[in-house]
Amino acid sequence: NAGVTQTPKFQVLKTGQSMTLQCAQDMNHNSMYWYRQDPGMGLRLIYYSASEGTTDKGEVPNGYNVSRLNKREFSLRLESAAPSQTSVYFCASSGLQGARTEAFFGQGTRLTVV
């Protein structure tokens, strides 16, 4: 059971380049998320998808776009990378596990924009 898988694990971009972070989950969860983690700031929600075909902005959406391709996959795109987007990115999904809702996280993508 793979859980939440995100790729790549590491990436270095030059300012202005674009890239897409991929995320897939195999737990049949409806909700998926993209967060960024910066020192001293916890995890901040970039975008959220409550179900296939729907996406909503989170706390820090500027500079990002997302696609909920199907129930399993939720991608994050940086159209024109900036140094301020240097961060660790986590994808997560949530759904009912027994009688309660839990969120599960991917292994993270460490992105550096130079």
CB of 18 to another protein, least distance (A): 25
Nearer to another protein, 3 or 16 (CB): 3
Judged by CB under 8 A, the chain residues 22 through 51 that form the site for another protein are 31, 33, 35, 40-45, 48, 50
Full DSSP string of 77-98? EESS--GGG-EEEEEEEEEEET
Q: Does 96 bind another protein (CB under 8 A)?
A: no
- The pattern of x and - marking residues 56 through 85 that bind another protein according to CB under 8 A reads --xx--------------------------
Distances (CA, A) of 69 to 23, 52, 103: 10, 7, 20
20 binds another protein (CB under 8 A): no
User: Cα separation of 49 and 93, whole Å?
Assistant: 9
Q: CA 74, CA 31: separation in Å to the nearest integer?
A: 10
Least distance from another protein to the Cβ atom of residue 20, Å: 20
